[in-house]
Structure 1
Amino acid sequence: MSESATHVDPRRWKALIFIALAQLMVVLDATIVNIALPSAQADLGISDANRQWVITAYALAFGGLLLFGGRVADLWGRKRTFIIGLVGFALASALGGAASNEGVLLGARALQGVFGALLAPSALSLLAVTFTEARERAKAFGIFGAIAGGGGAVGLILGGVLTEYMNWRWTFFVNIPFAVVAAAGALLVIREPAGSRNPSRLDVPGVILATLGLVSLVYGFTRAESDGWGAGMTIGLFVAAAVLLATFVLVESKVKSPLLPLRVLTDRNRAGVYASLGLAVIGMFGLFLFLTYYMQIVKGYTPVTTGLAFLPMIVGMITGSTQIGARLMTRVRPRLLMAPGFLLAAVGMLILTQIDLDTSYATQILPAFLLLGLGMGTAFMPAMSLATHGVQPRDAGVASAMVNTSQQVGGAIGTALLNTIAASATTAYATSHAKSAPSVDLLKLESMVHGYTSAIWWAVGILAVAAAIAFTMVTTGSQGGGPVARSGDGADAAADADAEADVPIPVMAH
């Protein structure tokens, strides 16, 4: 291995700052608007029936277009796609912040989703092709994993502060300085490795089928939450999603330049990462939602205090990601970090099944948050790295997009599934305790908490399944050696020989 392949380019670490900043902005946006939604609804006169579209418009565009965004990054250049995504996201955020009516706000949220779908996979794939030496990669993905895991909680804090002390419009405007700084930094310091671009044409039928299939799937879970799982619209959307995605897989197996090369999915380790990450996100999304309501409605915390209460979870995530995951990733098998990490998070979740009306934050919620953060940080970090490690450079963007897709679909499923479980348990508890309750208000709070704890029990089980999948499917060795997984057969490898010539291959760390 030549010295140049292992040489540490200081520009890489500057590039990481701007890539991580962009990722933070995208992750923040998933939660920051939730806290501002009641204020925006009142200000713009949005009906209760339509308010969900402020969240759904973003989720549908983002989740539906991620695979397209990942492939665009591979075909047209990751740096270019990254900068276009940043500029577009900033403009859409400015439009949302200045919205004078419901239509403009919903349009701005959809545009944020479109540009987020370009931005998120290009950020992760830039990281994948920039950091190829084992120890560098471990550190870089440790930082990135901590941001990806903890950004949602940061969004709750920032959303609380901006809504309480300024107004809801600033939850949009705050994205603009993030995007400007990240775009300027990307122009100056990001260098995309030569030969890592995919020269193929865009698979238009694949784009249409994947986008419509993913939109149907995500919207199906959204409708299940509001209309019920047995509603005609809900079932119709799930059937449409199944048909469209099955047709997509068939088309991808036939076309010359597929949007999602099946070699990315058929690698056992990557499939295990996508499945376990998606499941873990189902549990985490529900938790953020329930505990935000629990702390504000049951405990009476302000939005800012609620956000600050999540801080120990962020500290745990950063510690787990940078101090445990990054340090051990080059020495131990990924499954020995991922499976225990998900189990540790499940233990934290288990503690939260015991919350009631007078639960102490210091003795019960705080320890649970620390365990959740440590566990998730430790597991997310090697998972993020492994999802793109050893993949052919021409597929780095779409492999990165699959990470985001599994998280986005997991988030949609988590919100709908756990909300439905919580609502059913709340209603059942209120009905069975109606006669014995001392007051209606107390019964309402007790029913609510019972609903939350019932859903959190499911989240414990889901995290345990994520741990089992990680342990059984992720069988590769530590990421300190050569490429972990080489997707594709000899013919693919031969076809890519020239494309990979200038991309340093991960080497053993000494």
Structure 2
Amino acid sequence: MRWLLPVALTVQFMVALDMSVVNVALPDMRADLGFTPQGLLWVVNAYALAFGGLLMLGGRLADLLGSRPVLIAGLALFGAASLAGGLVRSPGALIAARAVQGVGAAALAPVAFALIAIAFPAGPARSRALGLWGMAGAAGGAVGVLAGGVLTDVAGWRAVMLVNVPIVAFALLASLRTGPTPGPAGAGARLDVAGALLATCGTAVLVLGLVGTSTHPWGSARTLATLGGAAALLVAFVAVEQRTAHPLLRPALLKGRPVLTANLFCLLLSSGQFAAFYFVSLCLQQVLGYGPTAAGIAFLPFSAGVVAGSVIATRTVAALGTRRLLAVGGGLAALGIAGFAVTARTDGTFLTFVLGPSLVSAVGIGMCFVPLGTAATTDVAPGETGMASGLLNSSRQVGGSLGLAVLVTVAAQVTGDSNRPADLVSGYATAFWAAAGLLAAGALAALVLLPGTRRADPESGPEAAPVAGPEDSQKNSGGAVDSAVSRSTQG
């Protein structure tokens, strides 16, 4: 069991890494492979769409088949797609490789979160584990931007795909030493194939329609047809889930206010955060003249801020509760993103444009991970932790994809066809304001929807109801796992 936490953190780091590692390398990919501007966006969206659309399926597979088989299969698929992506010769092949990466990641992320939710008892042990889980994701995103810049400068854009191969090799070896992991949910459970297809197709068509609004007006026949088709598919998904005996997503799961609020907050948080830092990267390179490596280094304060925010959350969640912590974290994040809008200028510098807003927004975002994980697993049965994990990760990744699609459209409406730095800054600033609004809405949702803070028992940790371990053996292993968390925290 001592390898369980390193495996979960490595998977979370790698999945987050691939959400950001290609961003800085996009200009080089476009020049080498001949992407169109809209086609280039799909290098990011292909991964995000496959990942977000299949996360609920990946989580449910972990419940039905057991964590280890899904973990190993996901790692193998992710590693193979990364290797293929580093060798492609055409835009379509790279987009396909990114999509397959997303499929592999959709099997990995729910398993990592579910293992933590099951193996760590509610209280300080789980808070520390969730704090490390959040740090791993934030570090992966920040390191991805830095590594993308350095690798692109030193070895070319293909290295940003191939860097995953050694990480996958380590995770595969470590996963074989994790010891007993949660097994299948039960012999009578079945996979909801229809629900998985409807959820994936509905999400993909929705984002396709939103991305297309940058070239087709919102009232055009194409836009209305794609958005209408997406709505029909998602309505059909809801209807199927209400009728099937073994749903991909049990509708009653969302009747719990903590679970519902956690997913709504996560959707809004990722929508604003992912899009905002996409535009920060573009502003640094296209307006301020940063090279790929310099742009990556400029994101390091964000990584430091997230670590600080996660530490604060771990130490205060028992006293403040999830409601207050999410509201404060979301509010700080919104304030920081608004800072980018205020300081965006054609003659901006690292000190005036990047440092302050990055630190404020990062501390706020870091404060959200522990309460998000706690709320998302409150009152969830052990046999549905994969389902709850897939839902939370779906909210994160779909939110990021949708937020990027919408805010790219918002910025394009202001910028038009101009490439003048002043016009680009104006469009980016508008997008930053919109992103800040999304984060502020998340903070407000936490205040309104979550129940008030209950006094925490010092012996039991946060106020959230625990997710009990499904086996006595897992309960007995809690001390060893807690010790692993303590060693990781001290290290």
TM-score (norm: length of structure 2):
0.90
Distance 1:361 1:482 in 2: 39
Q: What residue is the counterpart of 1:319 in the other structure?
A: 308
- The residue number in structure 2 matching 1:484 is 464
The question of 1:274 aligning with 2:250 is answered: no
Aligned to 2:402: 413
1:457 corresponding residue in structure 2: 433
Cα deviation, residue 73, structure 1 = 0.9
Give the C-alpha shift of residue 96 in structure 1: 0.8
| TM-aligned CA deviation for residue 47 of structure 1 | 4.3
| Counterpart pick for 1:57 among 21, 36, 46 | 46
Q: 1:248 to 1:182 in 2, by over 3 A?
A: same
- Matched with 2:340 is 352
Aligned to 2:486: none
Cα distance in 1 between the residues matched to 2:464 and 2:11: 27
Partner of 2:321, secondary structure, is coil
Identity within the alignment, %: 38
| CA distances 1:113-150 after superposition (whole Å, capped 9, x unpaired) | 11111111111111111212411100010011122234
- Residues 273-310 of structure 1, C-alpha deviations (whole Å, 9 max, x = no match): 11111111111112111111111122211111111111
Does 2:84 correspond to 1:108?
no
Aligned to 1:475: 451
218-227 or 82-91: bigger deviation:
218-227
Residues 209 and 245 in structure 1, CA contact (< 8 A), matched pair in contact too: yes
Q: Is the 8 A contact 1:162 1:170 kept in 2?
A: yes
Map residues 9-88 of structure 1 onto 2, 5 A cutoff: 11-12=1-2, 14-48=3-37, 50-88=39-77
Cα distance, 1:81 vs. partner? 0.6
Q: What CA distance in whole angstroms lies between the structure 2 residues aligned with 1:56 and 1:391?
A: 31
Contact (CA 8 Å) 2:78, 2:104: kept in 1 or not? Answer: yes
Q: CA deviation at 1:350?
A: 2.4
Alignment of 1:233-312 (within 5 A): 233-312=222-301
Is contact 1:335–1:471 with CA below 8 Å preserved after alignment? yes
Q: Does 1:147 align with 2:127?
A: no
1:426 Cα deviation (Å)? 2.6
With 178-187 and 232-241 compared, the bigger mean Cα shift is at: 232-241
Give the structure 1 partner of residue 125 of structure 2. Answer: 136
Closer, same or farther in 2 for the Cα pair 1:107/1:452, shift >3 Å?
closer
- Of 374, 380, 405, 1:385 maps to 374
For these two proteins, the number of residue pairs brought into alignment is 474
Q: Deviation of residue 503 (structure 1)?
A: 5.5
Tell me whether 1:400 sits opposite 2:389 in the alignment: yes
- Where does residue 342 of structure 1 map in the other structure? 330
- Cα contact 2:64–2:184 (8 A) shared by 1: no
Check 1:267–1:100 CA distance in 2 against 1; reply closer, same or farther (3 A cut).
same
Shift of 1:391: 1.1
- 1:7 aligned residue: none
Please tell me whether the aligned partners of residues 201 and 257 of structure 1 are also in contact (alpha carbons under 8 angstroms): yes
Q: Which residue of 2 aligns with 1:165?
A: 154
Higher mean C-alpha deviation, range 349-358 or range 132-141: 349-358
Amino acid at match of 1:313: F
Q: Which runs of 5+ in 1 are unaligned?
A: 1-10, 431-440, 488-496
Letter in 2 for 1:484: A
CA contact (8 A) 1:195 1:500 kept: no
Report the Cα distance in structure 1 between the residues aligned to 2:255 and 2:323, rounded to whole angstroms.
Answer: 18
One-letter amino acid of the structure 1 residue matched with residue 30 of structure 2? Q
Alpha-carbon distance in structure 2 between the residues aligned to 1:98 and 1:276: 38
* Structure 1 segment 206-217 matched on structure 2, within 5 A: 206-217=195-206
Change (3 A) 1:195 1:185: same
CA RMSD of aligned residues (A): 2.6
SS in 2 for 1:189: coil
How far has the Cα of 1:227 moved from its partner?
3.0
CA deviations over 1:50-83 (Å, ceiling 9, x no partner) = 3333333323322221111111111001122111
In structure 1, how many angstroms separate the alpha carbons of the residues matched to 2:469 and 2:407?
A: 48
Is the partner of 1:329 in helix, strand or coil? Answer: helix
- The whole-number CA distance in structure 1 between the counterparts of 2:200 and 2:286 is 38
Give, in angstroms, the shift of residue 25 of structure 1.
1.0
Q: 2:488 aligns to what?
A: none
Aligned 8 A contact 1:36 1:163 in 2: yes
Could you tell me whether the CA contact under 8 Å between 1:70 and 1:397 is conserved in 2?
yes
After TM superposition, the structure 1 = structure 2 runs for residues 364-375 of structure 1, keeping only pairs within 5 Å, are 364-375=353-364
Distance 2:446 2:34 in 1: 46
Counterpart code for 2:72 = I
1:491 aligns with: none
CA distance in 1, matches of 2:90, 2:353: 43
Which has more radius of gyration? Answer: 1
Cα separation, 2, equivalents of 1:361 and 1:51: 27
Moved more, 447-456 or 395-404: 447-456
Task: Measure, in 2, the Cα distance between the counterparts of 1:138 and 1:38.
Answer: 40
Which deviates the most, 378-387 or 139-148?
A: 378-387
Post-superposition CA distance 1:425-456 (Å, at most 9, x none): 2349x7xxxxxxxxxx8xx2112111111221
Partners of 1:427 and 1:105 in 2: how far apart?
Answer: 28
Identify the residue that residue 179 of structure 1 maps to in structure 2.
168
Which is further off, 19-28 or 192-201? Answer: 192-201
Counterparts of 2:466 and 2:125, CA distance in 1: 20
Is 2:271–2:400's contact at 8 Å kept on the other side of the alignment? Answer: yes
Contact 1:194 1:503 in 2 (8 A): no
How big is each residue's C-alpha offset from its partner over 1:16-70, in whole Å with a ceiling of 9 and x where there is no partner?
1121111111111112122223323333344445333333332332222111111
Which deviations, in whole Å up to 9, do the C-alpha atoms of 1:186-224 show, x marking residues without a partner? 111253146766851112222222222222223222223
Relative distance call for 1:57 and 1:368 in structure 2 (3 A) is closer
**One-letter amino acid matched to 2:146:** I
Q: 1:349 to 1:235 in 2, by over 3 A?
A: same
The answer to whether the 8 A contact 2:67-2:182 is kept is no
Runs of 5+ unmatched residues, structure 2? 483-491
1:185 Cα offset (Å): 0.6
Equivalent AA in structure 2 for residue 308 of structure 1: I
Counterpart of 2:290 in 1: which secondary structure? coil
Choose the corresponding residue for 2:317, options 311, 320, 329.
329
